Copies of this chain bind each other. A is one copy, B any other.
C-alpha cells in the first residue's frame, strides 16, 4: 500500500486571509492536521488561523515540543514527531502539517522534513509556501522593503556590534527577528549607524492585537512582545 502525502503548509503571519488559496484547498480535504505546540501555549496560533477552513471531521494531532535550547532534546522530539507523522501517512491519504509564516524560513518544518526523510524516505511531501511576517509587516506599514538593486538581510537576534557593523556595509534594509531578546541593545546599535532615521517596530503582525510604531526608540526600557520584528532602512543620499 502506498503512503499518504504530507503537506507542509505555511499559514502566514496570523491572519486567516493571508493563507494561500492552495493551502486552503488542501486543508479542506486533509484528514489529519498536525500542529507543533509548546507546553506554554494554550492553543496553537497556526491552528487558530486555519480553523475556518478545516474539514468538519478533521483530526487535529498536537505534537508537543519543549522550549529547549538543548539540541539533543529537540532532536529526540523531532525524531519522535517524524515517526508519528510516518504512522499517520500509513493510515491517511492527506496529512497537513501547519507552520506560522513560511514552512522553510525559520520554521520547525525543516526539522520534521529531515527526520521524516530518515524514517520514511518514500513518503511523498508537498510544501505550500506562506506569507512571511516581514512581508506582512511591510504591507501593514505600506513601505517598500527593498527596491531595484537594494540588498536585504534578515537577522534573528542576538546580533553583536561587530557583526552589525560588518553586515550593514553591504545591505540597504535589515529585518531583525526575535527582537524582544536584546531590544535596547539593538536600538543602541541602530542609533549609532546609518540605519537610525527609518526604523519600524511591528508586533503580532496580522493578528487582532497587532501594533506598530515608526519610533521604536521611544520604547526603550519597555517589555517588547515576543512576536515582534524590526525593519531598519539605510539613510538615502
Q: A residues engaging B (CB < 8 A)?
A: 8, 10, 12, 15-22, 24-25, 102-107, 109-111, 113, 125, 127-132, 135-136, 138-140, 142-156, 158, 163, 166-167, 169-171
Partner of A146, one of B105, B139, B148: B105
**Shortest beta-carbon distance from A194 to chain B in Å:** 16
Q: Are B154 and A104 in contact (CB under 8 A)?
A: no
Contacts of A25 in B (CB 8 A): 17
**Shortest beta-carbon distance from A218 to chain B in Å:** 24
Contacts of A136 in B (CB 8 A): 129
Find the B residue at minimum CB distance from A131.
Answer: B129
**Shortest beta-carbon distance from A106 to chain B in Å:** 6
- The complex places the Cα of A142 from the Cα of B139 at a distance, in Å, of 27
Contacts of A166 in B (CB 8 A): 166, 169-170
- The complex places the Cα of A103 from the Cα of B156 at a distance, in Å, of 23
Partner of A151, one of B144, B145, B150, B153: B153
Contacts of A150 in B (CB 8 A): 156
Pairs A–B under 8 Å by Cβ, sample size 15? A17-B21, A18-B128, A18-B129, A19-B21, A20-B131, A102-B135, A104-B143, A106-B148, A127-B138, A129-B135, A150-B156, A151-B154, A153-B171, A167-B167, A167-B170
Partner of A104, one of B102, B106, B138, B151: B138
Partner of A22, one of B18, B135, B148: B18
**Shortest beta-carbon distance from A79 to chain B in Å:** 16
Find the B residue at minimum CB distance from A25.
Answer: B17
- The complex places the Cα of A149 from the Cα of B157 at a distance, in Å, of 7
Q: Are A156 and B145 in contact (CB under 8 A)?
A: no
- The complex places the Cα of A139 from the Cα of B132 at a distance, in Å, of 13
Q: Are A128 and B139 in contact (CB under 8 A)?
A: yes
Contacts of A171 in B (CB 8 A): 153, 167
Q: Are B156 and A149 in contact (CB under 8 A)?
A: yes
**Shortest beta-carbon distance from A185 to chain B in Å:** 16
**Shortest beta-carbon distance from A205 to chain B in Å:** 10
Find the B residue at minimum CB distance from A111.
Answer: B147
Q: A132-B135, A167-B171 are in contact. List 18 more A-B contacts (CB 8 A).
A: A8-B139, A21-B24, A104-B138, A104-B142, A104-B144, A105-B145, A105-B146, A107-B144, A127-B138, A127-B142, A130-B135, A146-B154, A151-B153, A151-B167, A166-B166, A166-B169, A167-B167, A167-B170
